[in-house]
Structure 1
Amino acid sequence: MGLEFLRFGAPVAFAALGESIGQRAGVLNIGLEGFMLMGAYVAFRVTGATGNPYLGLLAGVVAGVVLALIQGFLTIHNTADQVVVGTAVNLLALGLTNTLFRAQFGKSGELVRVPSLPTLFGPFDAGLILLGILVIALSLWLARSKWGLANRAVGEYPPAVQSAGLSVTRIRWQAALLAGAFAGLAGAYLVVGVAHTFAENMVAGRGFVAIAMVTFGRWRPWGVVLASLFVGYIDSLQYQWQGRSALPVELFQALPYLGALLVLVFVGRGAAAPAALGVPYRRER
């Protein structure tokens, strides 16, 4: 299969990369699965209508940002519970995409193909090249820029950031919107870079795997992406092994999730999450 595993791992890598930024600022997005699903559906419809997979990617990003605006209004502005809201987003996205998909395509939608991203250099398409650029840029930005340092500080002790004259709310909004854009991009790439079609619940747990990869990667861009690509490699193996064994197909389909669980148990132990992760911030007056 060569480097094809990069394509399988890229959707999880995009989502996990964005989620790591959000979590560094104390924003936990349990709704990552729903974000990816909405990004995938919107990318499928836009790519199918225009024949342009690049517009599909952009549309997926927009879908992720719109969802982030809604979720951020509830969790950042109104300090609602992030886990409850994220769970609701997952259910909303699943129900909405299934309803719209069936209304338009019935049961035959899985046969509708959309144009895929063309390869630019060997097996690398624009999505994979973008992933490489983003992980380098974000690593430098988070480590060396004022915003990157503030983003990390907000996730540890928000009152200190507020005392320094910076807005905790603004920084969390910025991180949440950026994470939403990455999640929408992840879903869009799943359509135009991997599957070239849409199916109900096609994200199939990748959003939750991405959340696990953030912990596995210690909230560092390089670590998060490498962990995600490792899961992508395991995912690619299942397609090779399915035709060579008499074991149930479901066993091979579970391999990526079993792999994510095992590395999280054995490698993720002792990983210290940001102290203010998931904690609503209410400014003291």
Structure 2
Amino acid sequence: MDTIPAAVTTAAPELKAKHAAMWAMGDYPAVAREVIPALGPRLVDAVGVAAGERVLDIAAGDGNASIPAAERGASVVASDLTPALLEAGRAKSAGAGLDITWQAADAEALPFDDGAFDVAISCVGLMFAPFHAPVAAELTRVVRRGGRIGLIAWTTEGFIGQMFAAMKPFAPPPPEGAQPPVLWGDEEHVRELLRERVELRLAREQLDVSAFASGAAFRDFFKATYGPTIAAYRAIAEQPERVAELDAALAELGDRHLEDGLMRWEYLLTTGTVR
């Protein structure tokens, strides 16, 4: 299995290090495996990945979209900022007998040539890079003319967007100038970022989540596995009354969205052809 040396990050390396460390907290592969496993295959299907195509998965995590793309016979490079997730993905793909290249890379400064890929995808991944304009520029730069992009991002109005809103008063402040991740789930924002380079198709869809029996079960799972939630709790760890407030807010959010054992989490599916 091929491994390429990590790319050198030239902008705000201390911020990148903090970001990578946050996603190494907990157990994000458990989130991908137990809560959102349908998203990767949905994205690969929506963008029409085919055998023999060169595919880049940006902010790939442990391969939620990379693995189904490789299963179609594509030549896949799975990139991520977090070494722990790359290692998890490398083990996962090796166990499945898939030849995927796992590479450390920054979505804001990708270490690939112009037009190097037929397809670039990201499944609730690149949305978390703090500065959207360079991400959009890099996303389109590395795809050949006539190639395709495919993105899945949580919306502001959907469950995960509401979760981030609930956590915001408790979480560490974002870096200066950073844009909220859920803006990648806003149609107008995506059009503003990409319409000059991509013929876009946008659709809101819902993910059915049946992993949780109660709002408290959702909260406890995310407290243990999901980097941004863990970071929010660590920021208030010495304030038990604040911890209790966040506990109550997340459990209430989960209960409010749970109906007959099912939650529906909204996301924006962006696909398009690079001009």
Report if TM-score (shorter chain) is over 0.5: no
TM-score (norm. length: structure 2): 0.23
- Structure in which a larger fraction of residues adopt helix: 1
- Structure in which a larger fraction of residues adopt strand: 2
TM-score (norm. length: structure 1): 0.22
More contact order relative to length (CA 8 Å, sep ≥ 6): 1
